[in-house]
């Protein structure tokens, strides 16, 4: 479910017409719906209500300060993967004590910063990392709370680049080795074995891989909890969203299909997992990123040219892979709809950006309404892993971001002036 829909043939974000935002702030433009963010958080929070739980939003999905503040105000914690992200939590008014720190490559400096800020837990991905955390904690005369990330070797059945829970991946510690790792960790003086964690992948639209992973590691969690008095179990993130609605894009009520039965809703997730998790008697952490932010954002772009070759109808737009890399990177599908609803026949089209890469393609041979120069298109479900992956490739400045709340809208990131792109570059004296 989200709050982008047609009102009298014009695309709206909540109570604001997207066209009015484009007129004011230019194109391309990311537009986020605060109500959608809030509802996603609350649905999950309510579904998990029978458990003592904490939602740690995986901020790598969308870390704009306004998005972060929205979630911090709802009581969210955060899953961070770098010192920069933890600093962002603080800048947004979030609570470091509700943060978990994930990632396979934490540096000494990052560990020190996180320890000083009193984070809830380090999610540890290797034994050398445990030893390093212990060393840094000893130097600071602190006790570091940690959880070992278990790799349950369960295939999430999702895209290869977002599967993390099999032994082909760099993540976590192999299921069979976890007990020994905890035994050795328990001898480290500045380590507090606070819990245990897993994360099997992203964009899971089926509850079964979660069920299998939980079922597989539950006995281990119980055994280790008895031994080390764990406080929490983190089930990770990975809840998928609808990218491709069942109803045709642009049809009157397409957005309703984001509540379709075949998607992993918070209630189905809870129905299958809460009973198993409740039996543990532990605090349960969940680290959703995409589920919260994915359908809460769109990328709006202007049609610059339509180029017809013998075979193809190329719609050349002003957004590119540097603004939204998911189609190029993960072959992902984004629904594309015009800002002004069109009722005529569709044309098989390739929507492409201006960058000199064949990968700079948002869709291929897709039936889309006929559009022309000066029309605007919206790429839907661009709220997660969208702006955060933007780059300056081709010396293109990063685009602006707007947050909508009811009838109000605010720029939450200004468009980057191109001169800023090379501001920190220097030409050596010998040139």
Ligand X SMILES: *Cc1c(COP(=O)(O)O)cnc(C)c1O
Q: Does 350 bind ligand X (CB under 6 A)?
A: no
Cis peptide before 63 (omega within 30 of 0): no
Count of chain residues binding ligand X (CB under 6 A): 17
Residue 194 main-chain phi, psi, to 5 deg: -85, -25
From residue 244 to residue 283, what is the string marking binding to ligand X with x (rule CB under 6 A)?
A: ----------------------------------------
CA 378 distance to own-chain centroid: 19
- Quote the least distance from Cβ 238 to ligand X, whole Å: 4
Q: How far is the CB of 81 from ligand X (least distance, A)?
A: 7
Among 13, 44, 48, 58, binds ligand X (CB under 6 A): 58
- Contacting ligand X (CB under 6 A), which of 27, 44, 79, 403? 79
Under the binding rule (CB under 6 A), the answer on residue 238 touching ligand X is yes
| Residue 77 binds ligand X (CB under 6 A) | no
- C-beta closer to ligand X: residue 33 or 203: 203
CA distances from 243 to 158, 183, 264 (A): 14, 43, 13
Nearest in space to 370 (alpha carbons), one of 350, 343, 346, 352: 346
Nearer to ligand X, 237 or 250 (CB): 237
Residues 6+ apart with CB under 8 A from 388: 60, 61, 62, 63
By C-beta, is 71 or 239 nearer to ligand X? Answer: 239
61 is a contact residue toward ligand X (CB under 6 A):
yes
Residue placing its CB nearer to ligand X in the complex, 111 or 339: 111
**202/349 with CB nearer ligand X:** 202
Q: Which two tokens stand for residue 231?
A: 């406080």
- Using CA atoms, how far apart are residues 186 and 180, in angstroms rounded to an integer? 10
Q: Between 92 and 111, how does the x/- string for binding to ligand X read (CB under 6 A)? A: ----------x---------
CB of 146 to ligand X, least distance (A): 14
Q: Structure tokens of 133?
A: 């955390």
Write down the H helix ranges in 48-153.
65-73, 83-92, 108-117, 127-139
152 binds ligand X, rule: CB under 6 A: no
Least separation in angstroms between residue 240's CB and ligand X is 7
Among 202, 225, 265, 405, binds ligand X (CB under 6 A): 202
> How many Å apart are CA 268 and CA 265, to the nearest integer?
5
Q: Note if 356 is an active site residue.
A: yes
**What residues from 284 to 313 belong to the interface with ligand X (CB under 6 A)?**
287-291
Whole-angstrom distance, CA of residue 78 vs CA of residue 100: 6
Closest CA to 239 of 170, 294, 197, 172: 294
Do residues 59 and 88 make contact, with C-beta atoms less than 8 angstroms apart?
yes
Give me the least distance between CB of 119 and ligand X, in Å please. 14
3-state helix, strand, coil in the chain (%, to 5): 35, 25, 40
Cβ distance to ligand X smaller for residue 347 or 389 = 389
CB of 77 to ligand X, least distance (A): 12
Helix (H, G, I), strand (E, B) or coil at 363: strand
Catalytic residues: 356
The binding site for ligand X (CB under 6 A) comprises 58, 60-61, 79, 102, 199, 202-203, 236-239, 287-291
């Amino acid at each position: 479910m989200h709050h982008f829909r047609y009102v009298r043939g014009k695309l709206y974000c909540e109570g604001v017409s997207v066209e009015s935002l484009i007129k004011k702030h230019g194109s391309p433009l990311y537009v986020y719906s605060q109500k959608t963010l809030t509802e996603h958080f609350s649905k999950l929070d309510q579904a998990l209500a029978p458990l003592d739980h904490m939602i740690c939003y995986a901020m790598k999905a969308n870390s704009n300060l306004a998005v972060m503040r929205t979630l911090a105000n709802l009581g969210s914690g955060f899953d961070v993967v770098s010192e920069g992200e933890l600093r962002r939590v603080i800048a947004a008014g979030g609570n470091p004590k509700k943060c978990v720190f994930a990632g396979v490559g934490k540096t000494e400096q990052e560990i020190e910063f996180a320890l000083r800020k009193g984070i809830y837990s380090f999610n540890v991905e290797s034994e050398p990392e445990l030893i390093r955390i212990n060393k840094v904690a000893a130097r600071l005369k602190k006790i570091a709370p940690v959880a070992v990330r278990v790799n349950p070797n369960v295939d999430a059945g999702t895209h290869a680049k977002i599967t993390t829970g099999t032994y082909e991946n760099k993540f976590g510690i192999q299921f069979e080795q976890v007990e020994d790792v905890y035994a050795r960790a328990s001898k480290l003086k500045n380590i507090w074995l606070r819990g245990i964690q897993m994360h099997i992948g992203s964009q899971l639209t089926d509850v079964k891989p979660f069920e299998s992973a939980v079922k597989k590691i539950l006995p281990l969690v119980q055994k280790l909890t008895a031994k080390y008095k764990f406080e929490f179990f983190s089930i990770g993130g990975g809840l998928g969203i609808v990218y491709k609605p069942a109803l045709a894009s642009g049809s009157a009520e397409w957005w309703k299909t984001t509540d379709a039965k075949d998607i992993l809703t918070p209630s189905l997730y809870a129905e299958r997992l809460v009973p198993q998790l409740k039996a543990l008697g532990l605090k349960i952490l969940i680290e959703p990123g995409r589920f919260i932010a994915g359908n809460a954002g769109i990328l709006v772009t202007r049609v610059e040219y339509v180029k017809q070759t013998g075979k193809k109808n190329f719609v050349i737009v002003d957004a590119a892979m540097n603004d939204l890399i998911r189609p190029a990177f993960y072959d992902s599908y984004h629904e594309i709809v015009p800002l002004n609803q069109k009722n005529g026949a569709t044309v098989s089209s390739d929507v492409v950006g201006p960058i000199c890469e064949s990968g700079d393609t948002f869709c291929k041979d897709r039936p889309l309404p006929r559009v022309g120069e000066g029309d605007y298109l919206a790429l839907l479900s661009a709220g997660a892993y969208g702006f955060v992956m933007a780059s300056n490739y081709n010396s293109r400045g990063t685009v602006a971001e707007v947050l909508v709340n009811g009838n109000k809208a605010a720029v939450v990131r200004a468009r980057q002036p191109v001169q800023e792109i090379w501001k920190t570059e220097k030409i050596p004296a010998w040139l």
